[in-house]
Every structure is written in C-alpha cells, then in structure tokens.
Amino acid sequence: MSMPPSSEVPVGTDYSRLFRLDGRRAVVVGAGSGIGRESALALAAYGARVVCADRDLEAAEATARLGPDLSAYRLDVLDGDAVRRASAELGVVDVLVDSAATNVRKHLLDYSDDDFDRVVNLNLRAAFQLLRAFGSGMAARGRGSIIAFSSIRAVTVEPGQGVYAATKAGLVQLLRAAAAELGPRGVRVNAIAPGVVATPLTAPIRAVPEWAEAYAAKSALGRWSRPDELAGAVVYLASDASSFVTGTQLFVDGGWTAIDGRYTPPT
C-alpha cells in the first residue's frame, strides 16, 4: 500500500546537515555550569548563535568565552518581569533550553513552606514563565523548539525526593500541554530526562562514597553520566533531525528506568 505524499521524504534531503543549526538563535537558561554549559557549547558547535543566560553573570561570561558564537546575559528566572524583558530584549529566539533546577532533600513531613516554595518556584513556576514568554514569540513566527530538563524523578521517586519529583512530573505535563497547544503554530516542545549526572547539584551525593556507588550501580551502564553526555539530546531536539518529535520525554539515563531495583541476583 502506498503512503500518502505528506509522509514521503522530500527529494534531495541533505542528511549531512540534519543536525545543523546555522542561522538559528538559541537561549540556554542555566548556561553558567553543568548541563546548561555543555548544552550551550554543543548548540554553538552545530552553528547556532547562543545566548548563555544565568543568574550568575560571571559564570555565564565564563561559558561565553569558550566559543565565538556565545554571548552572556544575566537572567534571574525567579523574576517574572525579568523573564518578560529578556524575551523582548533578545528578539528572535528559535531554540529555548531550560536547565535551571534545584532540590531540597528532606522527607515530606520535614519540609517547611519555604523549602516547598523554593523547589516549586524554580523547577515549575519559572519554567512556566519561560515557556509563556518565549513560546509566545515562537508561535507568532510559526517556528521554534522549546527544551526543558525533567528527570528520572518524573517517573520514579525515593525518600527525600518527593517535592522535586512532583515538580518534574508537573513539568512534563506542562510541556505536553504546550506541545498540544503550540504544535499547530509550528512550535515543538519536549523534555529531556537525565539520570544521575555529575553536576554541582549532585555534589553532596557524590561526596558520600556508598551513596555515589549505589546510584552508579543502578543504571545499566554502571556509572554516573557526565554533563556533556546530555548535549547530543539537546542538539537533536533543537534541530531538524527531530522535526516530527514533540510532546515527548527523552530519557538519557543510562538505562536507570529500565531496571527494577539495585540488586543483581546470582544466576
């Protein structure tokens, strides 16, 4: 049975340029360190002009010095007015990457209202503000890709991770709703779900050998990931290589969510 014309590959597609981002402008939130920094460097390596946005301007500038197509911009995403100003000042943005996140590791009964607000405000409210501010311009122009980092905790949880997990699950649903609403206007919206990554956020875990080793053993690959190992997924979702991908959560977790438990029984 023949396929309808809309599903056919365009004649003369240049697959060698499928991941190229030449002529596109990207904003990476949280580009001062960790996954955000590596995302910015990877996008620039594939031809994008990248704005490295971070609350810590010095950290953003340090990232920007690593490449010719990188610039720094101070942005506190907890300030809704600042987010709206940024979307106006930065002009045309084709790709938005949100890597900002925080966590307070406590059991639910030990959580204070301030702890709750701290995690929810950055992980969920700020993500909503960014999506709304930058997604509006993308929708008006009829194109764009929005990428935010969820987590394996969007689908799995452990003691002390309840509020963080709730924000990441909520973020995924927020992004799915945005994908449904903005898709007809040419904007794609997706999440990347890392496993355990060696970043400043996870430094307290890695400082405890038993804890660090238990997390490493949980994945199929038996180790923690490096921040740069998330960069390929960012480039993929930003580029035409993923032109028919929206509303999805891409797990880059070393097989963490494929495995049941941390104990390998004898065979």
Residues that are catalytic: 164
* Phi-psi group of 87: left, alpha or beta (phi > 0 → left; psi -120 to 50 → alpha; rest → beta): alpha
> Which residues are 76's β-sheet partners?
none
The answer to whether 196 touches 211, Cβ cutoff 8 Å, is: no
From the number of C-beta atoms within 10 Å of its C-beta (0-12, 13-18, 19+), residue 218 rates as buried
Residue 212: partners with Cβ closer than 8 Å, 6 or more residues away: 205, 206, 224
Q: What order of strands is seen across the sheet that includes strand 95-98? A: 70-74, 49-54, 25-29, 95-98, 144-149, 187-194, 249-252
